[in-house]
């Protein structure tokens, strides 16, 4: 199934050698009707059709808090260069999170002949990398796609 393999790949892509922190102080809250945790894991969510998936991950990798859009943009450009070598249709941009800045990346990932659109938000959680990643197939996905992308772009923090 694409969910686990895409997110395993995204985890490896996010930072080489990153270590997932066990347990977390809080889990991702997805305030959209019909979305439920996968197998009771409040860090992985899917819509009622199973066509969209979101995952929150924390890494042991240090990650700076960006205090200005320029700092976030500098990282976004480096991230885009890195992703461009591995995936298609990469776009990155700074995003404001209550005075701190994160970076949003969007790209296409191909696996077994299917193309998935990935949206990935990079945030600093007290100096540690935290990502919120959403994915869906580029074909056959329904209304969940826009709601998921809007949540990651504007609300996830």
Residue 20: inside a domain, yes or no? no
Domain-embedded: residue 129: yes
Q: What is the mean pLDDT of residues 140-157?
A: 87
pLDDT confidence band for 7 (50 / 70 / 90): very low
Burial 120-143 (b: 16+ CB within 10 A, else e): bbbbbbeeebbbbbbbbeeeebee
145 located within any domain: yes
- Average the pLDDT over 20-38 and give the result: 67
How many structural domains does the chain have? Answer: 1
Average pLDDT score over the chain: 83
Structural domain range at position 41 = 2-14+34-155
Say which CATH number the domain at 142 has.
Answer: 3.40.1000.10
CA distance 135 to 157: 18
Tell me if 73 is assigned to some domain: yes
Within a domain: 111: yes
How confident is the model over 38-95, as pLDDT tens digits? 998 989 999 988 899 999 999 999 999 999 999 999 999 999 999 999 999 999 999 9
Specify the 3-state DSSP secondary structure of 114: strand
* 52, part of any domain: yes
Residue 141 falls inside a structural domain = yes
């Amino acid at each position: 199934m694409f969910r686990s393999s895409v997110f395993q790949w995204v985890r490896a892509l996010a930072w080489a050698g990153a270590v997932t922190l066990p347990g977390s102080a809080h889990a991702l809250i997805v305030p959209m009707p019909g979305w439920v945790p996968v197998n009771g894991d409040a860090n992985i969510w899917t819509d009622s059709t199973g066509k969209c998936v979101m995952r929150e991950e924390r890494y042991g990798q240090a990650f700076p808090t960006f205090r200005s859009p320029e700092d976030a943009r500098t990282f976004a450009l480096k991230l885009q260069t890195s992703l461009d070598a591995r995936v298609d249709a990469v776009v990155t941009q700074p995003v404001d999170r209550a005075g701190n800045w994160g970076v949003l990346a969007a790209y296409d990932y191909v696996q077994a002949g299917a193309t998935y659109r990935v949206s990935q938000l990079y945030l600093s959680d007290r100096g540690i990398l935290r990502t919120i990643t959403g994915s869906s197939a580029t074909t056959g996905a329904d209304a969940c796609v826009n709601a998921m992308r809007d949540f990651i772009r504007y609300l996830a923090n």
